Amino acid sequence: MTAQDLVPPVRIAVLVPCYNEAAAVAQVVRDFRAALPDSEIYVFDNNSTDGTAEIAQAAGALVRREGRKGKGNVVRRMFADVEADLYIMVDGDATYDASAAPRLIAAALEGGYDMVNVARVETAQKAYRPGHRFGNALLTGLVGRVFGTQTADMLSGYKIFTRRFVKSFPAMSGGFEIETEIMIHALELGIPIGEISAPYGERPEDSASKLQTWRDGFRILRMIGELIRRERPLEFFGVAALAMMLASLGLGLPVVFEFWESGLVPRLPTALLSAAIMLAALMSFAVGLMLDAVTRSRQELKRLAYLAIPPLR
């Protein structure tokens, strides 16, 4: 018996969240079965009404159902229910290149990454709508400025994770903002992240995108703001405190100058308003300090939960 015989095979699960993807899901299952014949392919159906689940099952996928609407709810269920060593998550719209999966696995294993993102390279003019492209660049740049840049395509729906990442990720989002939460979670904990590029094509003719540019863009932007408040409370409340302090000084300094010159306070309401705003600024800064201590403790606990799971050897 050699040392290689003692190493168990790596269990690979392909996770496909789906909602009304009857026109594309069979192709996704077939392509990933051809690229990764030893993997288990799970299709998690999110209340589809077009027979997506039945088509996926007929194509050879293991079909599960999640009744709560939204991609984030599906991801939470997938990460909780599926047991594997490596998890490939890919959208069920047949726009991502399944043949890149072995390269994705190699990048994770050789680089020792707990997450590898697939940056999209367009292969067709209609593959990536201009609004989506602009929104992705804007949101990816915003997250990079606040939390650090380690990816060029944060909103890509094609990623690989280790078991260590999946089983320690809280998954609090309900919708498409789950991609943002995944990236910020990895950046905050200092988890090793890699990225490769792969072709990105058009959807099948009978398939339609579920992503609404403005609605989902605002939801993602709101999620970024919420995560900044939650993960960077000192900066968040500190900026608010600075803005209120400047407003207070702008209102109060003329009153102070008048008092020095005349010994009177002719604008008492303005003076009281200035004092109240300054007090609110000090309270905001104090709240930021307290929440920063709480956030650091919470991050330490999440880091310990991550480290409690053995790495993939």
Look at the chain and report how many structural domains it folds into. Answer: 2
Inside any domain, residue 30: yes
- What CATH number is attached to the domain comprising 29? 3.90.550.10
* Residues 183 and 302 both lie in one domain: no
* Residues 224 and 238 both lie in one domain: no
Inside any domain, residue 313: no
Q: Which tokens in the block code for residue 225? A: 């703001």
Inside any domain, residue 61: yes
* Residues 48 and 187 both lie in one domain: yes
> In the prediction, which pLDDT does 270 show?
86
Inside any domain, residue 127: yes
Query: Is there a contact between 204 and 124 (Cβ–Cβ < 8 Å)?
Result: no
* Residues 48 and 120 both lie in one domain: yes
The model scores a pTM over 0.85? no
Of 215, 80, 216, 111, nearest in space to 157 by CA: 216
* Residues 262 and 121 both lie in one domain: no
> In the prediction, which pLDDT does 172 show?
79
> In the prediction, which pLDDT does 5 show?
45
As averages over each run of 10 residues, the pLDDT of the chain (313 residues) reads 52 94 92 94 92 93 91 92 95 91 93 92 64 66 72 86 93 78 86 92 68 64 76 88 93 83 78 91 93 88 89 79
Residue at which a domain ends, from 229, 249, 265: 229
Query: Is there a contact between 218 and 177 (Cβ–Cβ < 8 Å)?
Result: no
Phi (first) and psi of residue 160, to 5 degrees: -125, 145
* Residues 216 and 262 both lie in one domain: no
Q: Which residues of 149-179 are buried (b: 16+ CB within 10 A; e: fewer)?
A: ebbbbbbbbbbbbbbbbbbbbebebbbbbbb
CA 237/CA 230 separation, integer angstroms: 11
Angle at 35 between CA 82 and CA 162, to 5 degrees: 35
> In the prediction, which pLDDT does 312 show?
80
* Residues 132 and 253 both lie in one domain: no
CB-based burial label for 102 (10 Å; 0-12, 13-18, 19+): exposed
Query: Is there a contact between 7 and 313 (Cβ–Cβ < 8 Å)?
Result: yes
Helices 178-189 and 213-231: crossing angle in degrees, nearest 10, is 30
Query: Is there a contact between 80 and 167 (Cβ–Cβ < 8 Å)?
Result: no
Of 152, 77, 164, 75, nearest in space to 121 by CA: 152
Angle at 284 between CA 281 and CA 289, to 5 degrees: 130
Residue 200 domain boundaries: 3-229
* Residues 156 and 291 both lie in one domain: no
Inside any domain, residue 74: yes
